[in-house]
Amino acid sequence: MRRRWSVTRRLLASYLVLFIAFAVTMTLGYSDLQKATAEAELSRSGLVPLQLSIGQALAEQNVLAAQLNHATAAKNPADVREWIETARKTRPLTLAAARKAAERLDERTPEAARLRSDALADLDTLEARARTDADAYQRFFDALTTDQRSKAEQLQSDIVKLEAENTQLLRSIKSQTEVTTERLGEKARARERRAIQLLVGLSVLTLVVAAGITLYARRVLRPLGNVTDRARAVAAGDVTPRPAVDDGSEIGELAETFEGMVGAIADARKDLVKAERLAAIGKMAAHITHEIRNPLSAISLNLEMLEGELEGGEEAREKRELVAAIKAEANRLSRLSEQYLSLARRPVPTVATESVGELAEEVLAFLKPELDRARVKFDVRVDPEAPAVPIDEGLLRQAILNLVRNAREAMSEGGELSVRVARDGVDGVDLVIEDSGPGIPEELRASIFDPFFTTKQR
């Protein structure tokens, strides 16, 4: 199975998602803050000074217009000329201040760029007229001085019309400045509302992501708590293995390995109980065998003496047969006691290098009459390349003998028996014994290696 990301990487990725959400929130907020700062700087350095300069220019223009309207009716033309000349001298300074404010407008903002272009064009027109209207004013003042009223009124009308056009240009600049200021203000207010909405939305998103990551971290780490609970249960004595869900992480693998360890502990405990039980049975068998063997030895000795006294004579034949039967049962009991004693005293294998194939053939040859009587056909196949291996010849012979006899007894109506010896790897041997009997039921297979276990009727 393909291993998924580790717990550390998954948790790190989760917190990275949270950090990205937080970073997006901060970045967008900072971007809006920068835009608001730029617009505030635009208003401070360009729009407000431009409005003030244009307002001052309009005020001066109104004063000039008022003086012009009453110039021909004034009793002292010299005073009127002084007022008008003063207003005309301050006009270039006011227009220069307005130009400087217009030039500071940020061209990166479309509204400000458009206002800058229009305002500079109108200011160019006003400055050009201010330089070229000196001659008209001079002729007007000369007409007033020489008392040429009709000419003075005509020149006054022309100058008033020119100044009205100048006033219209100033008002146009003022109007455009006010509209631009209003638009930028509306954009700033809309951006502020959007920034608040975005900040609230992203804050909620960040909280949701944080809550989701918290739940995800709890889900990822939950198997660790389950492993801890299982460890406490095992420490309290519960060694029953339970299925573990491997979610692909180290914790899931730990849980699966832990349950495998619990299963191994349970098996080891069963083996220990079985070993202790076998040890107890062995001690009891040794004690019982010791108590039986002494009387059996005496019985066997007395039977041999009795056989000697009953030799010869047809009349003693029945007695000899009876003694022989008793002796056979005594020998059977002696062999049975030896079997029980072997349980208490595990034999130490005597290992020597032998041919398993030859041993199998010898055992089957020995059992051939027995198998023929039971109508069991057998086949022994030995791989010529099967090597000799270290074995205890006596123990393996007994094992083959027992297996073949068990197979014969399981085929009460006759059947087929197959014994195969084949090479396994470089220096191993496989010994396979198969029969056509009913086999061992599934529920009994776990008990076939228990001492004295049998399915035969006792």
Which has more confidence, 277 or 400? 400
Q: Is 411 helix (H, G, I), strand (E, B) or coil?
A: coil
For residues 181 and 262, state if they share a domain: no
Q: Would you state the torsion angle of the CA atoms of residues 447, 449, 455, 458, taken in this order, to the nearest 10 degrees?
A: -120
In the predicted model, what is the mean pLDDT of residues 22-38? 71
Is 117 found in the same domain as 140? yes
- Reported in sequence order, the residue ranges of 247-370 that DSSP labels E, i.e. its strands, are 352-354
pLDDT at 433: 92
> Is the Cβ–Cβ distance between 247 and 223 less than 8 Å?
yes
Same domain, residue pair 396 and 440: yes
pLDDT at 41: 64
Q: Comparing 284 with 125, which gets the higher pLDDT?
A: 125
**Which of 322, 344, 366 is at the close of a domain?**
344
Residue 224 lies in a domain: no
177 and 323 share a domain? no
Residues 333 and 376 in one domain: no
Query: Domain total for the chain?
Result: 3
Residues 273 and 144 grouped into a single domain: no
**What are the backbone dihedrals phi and psi of residue 423, each rounded to the nearest 5 degrees, phi first?**
-70, 140
Per-residue pLDDT band for 452 (boundaries 50, 70, 90) equals: low
Mean pLDDT score across all residues of the chain: 78
How high is the pLDDT of residue 147? 76
CA 458 – CA 456 distance, rounded (Å):
6
- The burial class, CB within 10 Å (0-12 / 13-18 / 19+), for 3 is exposed
In this structure, the answer to whether residues 328 and 368 fall within a common structural domain is no
List C-alpha distances in Å: 112 to 33, 174, 285, 357, 393. Answer: 19, 13, 112, 106, 109
Q: What is the pLDDT of residues 281-331, one digit of tens each?
A: 667 766 666 677 677 777 777 777 777 777 666 666 777 777 777 877 777
The pLDDT score that the predictor gives to residue 418 is 92
Cβ partners under 8 Å of residue 202, min gap 6:
21, 24, 25, 28
Domain enclosing residue 194, as ranges:
7-215
| Of the listed ranges 229-233, 363-367, 382-386, the one predicted with least confidence | 229-233
Q: How far apart are CA 107 and CA 111, in angstroms?
A: 8
Last residue of a domain, one of 321, 344, 367: 344
- 337 in Cβ contact with 293 (< 8 Å): yes
Domain CATH for 393: 3.30.565.10
**Residue 70 · residue 83 · CB < 8 Å:** no
- pTM (predicted TM-score): 0.43
Residue 241 inside a domain? The answer is no
Distance between CA atoms of 185 and 193, rounded to whole angstroms?
12
Residue 232 lies in a domain: no
- Same domain? For 183 and 144 the reply is yes
What distance in Å separates the CA atoms of residue 372 and residue 368, rounded to the nearest whole number? Answer: 6
Q: Is 422 a domain residue?
A: yes
- Establish if 365 belongs to a structural domain: yes
Averaged pLDDT for residues 374-380: 90
Residues 97 and 201 in one domain: yes
Mean pLDDT over residues 229-234, rounded?
A: 76
Confirm whether 143 is domain-assigned: yes
The stretch 37-45 carries a mean pLDDT of 63
